[in-house]
Every structure is written in C-alpha cells, then in structure tokens.
C-alpha cells in the first residue's frame, strides 16, 4: 500500500452514521395501537438449549400459535428492544454528539397498519416517527428509512402466508405510500427492503412465510415471494419518485463476496455461480430485468414463476437510484461433485484459513470490502451505500462505567481503511452506516449480548438491566473519524 493511496480522503458530504432496525431497537411492541409483527415472535433461547434450531429464522405454524397464545415462558427480546421508543431523544442526542450525518432507521409496519389490512393508518404510530424524524433533523442528521426490515404484521403471515401471496404487493404499497405522503418533506433517502436476498435463507424472516404451510418446494416459494417483492419494490420506486422527485430510493442486499476455494476451474465456476445468485437482486432492481442465468436456473430446477403480463415492464421502468448493502464477511465457493444444483442458499461451509473469525464465527475480512465495492461498482456504475458493517462482540462494563472496546475500533478502522482505498480506486460511495451504533437486540440470535454499539446499553439476554446508556471507547474514536471525514482512523 503506497502512502499516496492511504492519504485519499472521502468526498465532501460523505454520509457517516449508524444503522438500526425498528424491531431490534424500539421495543414498546404493543404501545399506542401497534400490532404484533413476525419479529415479536422471536424468542431468546440460550445456545446450549437450541439444538441447532434458530428461532429467528425458523418459526413454524405450531410455534407461532403457541407464541401468539401467550402459552410459553420464553422471553421475546425484540418486543422490548432497548426502549428507543421512549428514549429516542437521549439516543439521538448521543448520535449527534458523535457527529452523525445520517441515521438509518426502519419503520415498523405494525405501528402504522397493525394488521396490515386497515384502511386508515394508526395516527399514533405516524406521530411517533414524525417525532423521531423531527429530532434527527433538529440535529442535522439525515434520515435513511428502510421501509421493510425483517418484519411484517403477523396477521399477514397467518392469513396469506406472507409474501407467498401476491396480494402482499398492494398491502405493502399502501404502507409505503402512507410513509411517502406523510414524510416526503423530511426523508430523502429510502430503501425498499432490507437484505432482500436473505429470503433464500429464511422464508420467515425475509418473507413472513411459514415453511410448514407451503405447498410447493421451498425454492419455488422463495423465488415467487422474491418476484412479488421485486414488483412491490419497483412500484414503490415509481410512486416514491412521483411524490418526491428529489428522493433517492435504493435496493439492498447482504453482499457475500465469494472467493474460489482454489484455482481449480470447477471451483472458480462454482464461485461465479454463487456470486450470480447473490447479485440476482441488484441485477433485477438496478438493471431492470431478470438475468438470463437465473432464467436458466429456474428452468433446470423446475421453478415456474407466476408473473402478471405487466410485471416485466414495471420492473424495467422503475429501477433504483443506488445500491445499498451490508458487509460482514466473505464466503468460499467450492465445487462439490455430489451436488449438481446451485442452491443459492448462501451458506458457505468452507472455512477461509487466512481469516480470523468473530466470537460468533463470522470471518473478518476488511480487504474483502474493497473487493466488494470495486466489483459492485465495476458492474453497475451506480452509487453505492454501505448501510451495515460492524463487529458483534461481548463487551465488559467496568465499575467506573467505561467500556474498552479496542477490538471494535480495530475492526472498524481496518474496514474504513479499505473503504477509503476503494474510494481512491474510483468507487462512487455515498456513505457508511455502522450497524447498531447503540447496542440493540441481535437479529439472528435475539441476544442482547452480541453488541455492535458505540453506546453500551445496560441490559442482559433475559431483559434485566437499567437500560442506562454508556459511552464506549469507540464512541470518541468514531466521533474523530467523522470529524476528520475519515482522515484520522
């Protein structure tokens, strides 16, 4: 790395900040008319009792009934989050103290339409987000709103089996249009769906679909639901742009940059295929059409998508303004002669011997971020936005209220360095929102103990604690990063 390379700065106006999701942050799951959402049904189960089952990603209809009936003694951490609902002023003031330019939030569908089917939105829910947005704007923090982040009214799961049903498109649009109408003067940056590609990994989390209720194959349903979300997303782009000509509306994926396990051509080809599955989503949303490799894949795997005649034109005419992505790790592509399908299930079982992993086993690969940025930009020539990255770790609150999270600083520093290199390579990068700038409930495990924040929240996995906020060492470090526009790391 040359001196000249490392000295490159970020563009003026670069959007530094943090990223959150309503269902992991807000709590107050039944306050002011809010309905129950799919994420309210994710219990915390200690690792030793899970038996390989992951409740966030895998809830079946029997469990759902049990959870809804209250006939269970497990704890549901996402119902309480970290009580941002009541503490948003304090939390936003701390984000402002770090100098945030942007905060990514999502809006809980069930605060606005408790079952998803009401004709009239819940005014108390709308008023809450008005207050949050006003507080952000007061501190000159630009809101970036994800319309749907891994949750939906549980009623829509029960009645329609979520996104398996095409009628979800109109229900989603009613929700999206309500947000556009209400917040058009307050929000410029929007994302239609969080990590759309993860529906292949979890039908429940990504699509509100109960696997034991589906009739066809899991893949068939996953891609049909994906198609419904593509159409819904494109229609949201259309009406969003009509209502807000200056808005920037993006798509979002969990980017899984994939390396070949070896230089063996079969491994390289396998890697290409896995990469194509990951890029299928921006391919449709940024380029406006289904790529031919997916059409071939559907044909060879007996997947028949039901499309309405107008769908292709809707997708073609309403592409996104930017591509947002989360980046946590890289994957390995390895050819397996016993598996001739290209599952696209995004799970790499092969370990990369060159990388350390986090306490939760996620490979740490800062250079992979530079590769991901360059590859995405080379391919789409469209502004990119890193809307999630960070280290989930166990933190220790000292007697004096300090938290020495040097490991987090080190992780972020190394990723931001690579980001800076990618910008110097010419990548058009709009901003960086670190995941969970305040500790929130983990998406995948519903733990509190998997912390990403610059701000520590006093709460344990069982929901005990004062909820008091403490500044970690990384708080001042990130403040300085933002102040210097990424020059001082």
Supply the minimum distance, in Å, between the C-beta of residue 140 and ligand BG6: 26
The answer to the question of residue 34 lying near ligand BG6 (CB under 6 A) is no
The answer to the question of residue 55 lying near ligand BG6 (CB under 6 A) is no
* Window contacting ligand BG6 (CB under 6 A); options: 232-240, 374-382, 406-414, 441-449: 441-449
* Window contacting ligand BG6 (CB under 6 A); options: 183-191, 347-355, 437-445, 471-479: 437-445
388 a catalytic residue: yes
**Half-sphere exposure for 94 (CA within 13 Å, toward CB):** 22
Name which position in 259, 435, 454, 477 contacts ligand BG6 (CB under 6 A): 435
> How many residues lie near ligand BG6 (CB under 6 A)?
15
319 φ/ψ angles, rounded to the nearest 5 degrees: -85, 165
Name which position in 442, 459, 461, 474 contacts ligand BG6 (CB under 6 A): 442
User: In whole angstroms, what is the distance from residue 1 CA to residue 23 CA?
Assistant: 41
The answer to the question of residue 443 lying near ligand BG6 (CB under 6 A) is yes
Supply the minimum distance, in Å, between the C-beta of residue 439 and ligand BG6: 10
One character per residue 74-113, x = contact with ligand BG6 (rule: CB under 6 A): ----------------------------------------
Supply the minimum distance, in Å, between the C-beta of residue 441 and ligand BG6: 8
Asked whether 146 and 104 are in contact (CB, 8 A), the reply is yes
Name which position in 15, 21, 209, 279 contacts ligand BG6 (CB under 6 A): 21
The answer to the question of residue 195 lying near ligand BG6 (CB under 6 A) is yes
One character per residue 134-153, x = contact with ligand BG6 (rule: CB under 6 A): ----------------x---
What would the two tokens of residue 196 be? 């759309």
- Our CB check for ligand BG6 shows the closer of 99 and 392 to be 392
What would the two tokens of residue 318 be? 């309403």
Cα torsion 240, 241, 244, 245 to 10°: value is 170
Name which position in 143, 392, 431, 453 contacts ligand BG6 (CB under 6 A): 392
Alpha-carbon distances of 31 from 71, 124, 136, 145, 381, rounded to whole Å: 21, 9, 22, 21, 44
User: In whole angstroms, what is the distance from residue 419 CA to residue 57 CA?
Assistant: 31
One character per residue 322-361, x = contact with ligand BG6 (rule: CB under 6 A): ----x-----------------------------------
Supply the minimum distance, in Å, between the C-beta of residue 335 and ligand BG6: 27
The answer to the question of residue 434 lying near ligand BG6 (CB under 6 A) is no
The answer to the question of residue 194 lying near ligand BG6 (CB under 6 A) is yes
- Our CB check for ligand BG6 shows the closer of 280 and 290 to be 280
Q: Would you give the end-to-end CA distance of the chain in angstroms?
A: 16
Asked whether 81 and 464 are in contact (CB, 8 A), the reply is no
- Minimal CA–CA distance to 230: which of 292, 284, 296, 293? 284
Residue nearest to ligand BG6 (CB): 444
User: In whole angstroms, what is the distance from residue 169 CA to residue 226 CA?
Assistant: 11
Instruction: Please say whether the dihedral angle defined by the alpha carbons of residues 136, 326, 196 and 214, taken in this order, is positive or negative.
Output: negative
User: In whole angstroms, what is the distance from residue 274 CA to residue 293 CA?
Assistant: 11
User: In whole angstroms, what is the distance from residue 93 CA to residue 76 CA?
Assistant: 28
Q: Which residue has the tokens 């989930």?
A: 392
Q: How far is CA 52 from the centre of its chain?
A: 23
Angle at the Cα of 407 from the Cα atoms of 404 and 411, rounded to 5 degrees? 135
- Report the 10 Å Cβ neighbour count for 48: 6
- Our CB check for ligand BG6 shows the closer of 67 and 150 to be 150
- Minimal CA–CA distance to 412: which of 350, 327, 342, 347? 327
The answer to the question of residue 257 lying near ligand BG6 (CB under 6 A) is no
What would the two tokens of residue 62 be? 């029997």
Residue among 63, 283, 388, 421 flagged as catalytic: 388
**Residues within window 268-327 making contact with ligand BG6, judged by CB under 6 A:** 326
* List of residues contacting ligand BG6 (CB under 6 A): 21, 24, 150, 194-195, 254, 326, 388, 392, 435, 442-445, 450
Catalytic site residues?
A: 388
């Amino acid at each position: 790395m040359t001196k000249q390379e490392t000295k490159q700065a970020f563009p003026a106006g670069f959007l530094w900040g943090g990223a959150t999701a309503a269902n992991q942050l807000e709590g107050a799951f039944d306050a002011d008319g809010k309905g129950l959402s799919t994420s309210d049904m994710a219990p915390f189960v200690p690792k030793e009792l899970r038996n390989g089952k992951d409740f966030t990603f895998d809830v079946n209809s029997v469990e759902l009934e049990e959870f809804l009936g209250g006939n269970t003694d497990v704890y549901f951490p996402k119902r309480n989050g970290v009580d941002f609902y009541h503490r948003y002023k304090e939390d936003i003031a701390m984000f402002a103290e770090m100098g945030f330019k942007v905060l990514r939030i999502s809006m809980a569908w069930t605060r606005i339409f408790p079952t998803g089917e009401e004709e009239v939105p819940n005014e108390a829910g709308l008023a809450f987000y008005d207050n949050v947005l006003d507080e952000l704007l007061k501190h000159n923090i630009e809101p970036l709103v994800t319309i749907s982040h891994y949750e939906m009214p549980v009623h829509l799961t029960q009645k329609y089996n979520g996104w398996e049903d095409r009628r979800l498109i109109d229900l989603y649009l009613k929700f999206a249009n309500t947000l556009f109408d209400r917040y058009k003067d307050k929000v410029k940056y929007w994302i239609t769906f969080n990590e759309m590609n993860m529906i292949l990994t979890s039908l429940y989390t990504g699509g509100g679909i109960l696997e034991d209720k589906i009739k066809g194959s899991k893949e068939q349903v996953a891609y049909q639901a994906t198609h419904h979300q593509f159409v819904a997303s494109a229609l949201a782009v259309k009406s969003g742009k009509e209502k807000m000509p200056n808005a920037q509306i993006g798509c979002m994926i969990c980017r899984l940059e994939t390396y070949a396990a070896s230089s063996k051509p079969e491994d390289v080809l396998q890697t290409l295929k896995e990469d194509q599955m990951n890029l299928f989503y921006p391919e449709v949303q940024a380029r406006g059409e289904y790529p031919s490799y997916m059409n071939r894949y559907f044909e060879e795997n007996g997947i028949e998508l039901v499309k309405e005649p107008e769908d292709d034109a809707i997708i073609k005419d309403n592409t996104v303004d930017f591509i947002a992505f989360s980046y946590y790790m890289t994957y390995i592509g390895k050819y397996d002669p016993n598996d001739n399908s290209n599952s696209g299930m995004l799970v790499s079982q092969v370990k990369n011997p060159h990388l350390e992993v986090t306490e939760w086993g996620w490979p740490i690969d800062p250079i992979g971020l530079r590769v991901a940025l360059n590859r995405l930009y080379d391919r789409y020539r469209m502004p990119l936005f890193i809307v999630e990255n960070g280290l989930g770790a166990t933190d220790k609150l000292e007697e004096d209220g300090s938290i020495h999270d040097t490991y987090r600083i080190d992780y972020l520093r190394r990723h931001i360095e690579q980001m800076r290199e990618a910008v110097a390579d010419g990548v058009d990068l709009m901003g960086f929102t670190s995941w969970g700038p305040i500790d929130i409930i983990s998406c995948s495990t519903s733990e509190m103990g998997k912390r990403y924040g610059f701000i520590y929240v006093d709460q344990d996995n069982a929901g005990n604690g004062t909820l008091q906020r403490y500044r970690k060492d990384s708080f001042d470090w990130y403040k300085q990063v933002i102040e210097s526009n990424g020059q001082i790391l």
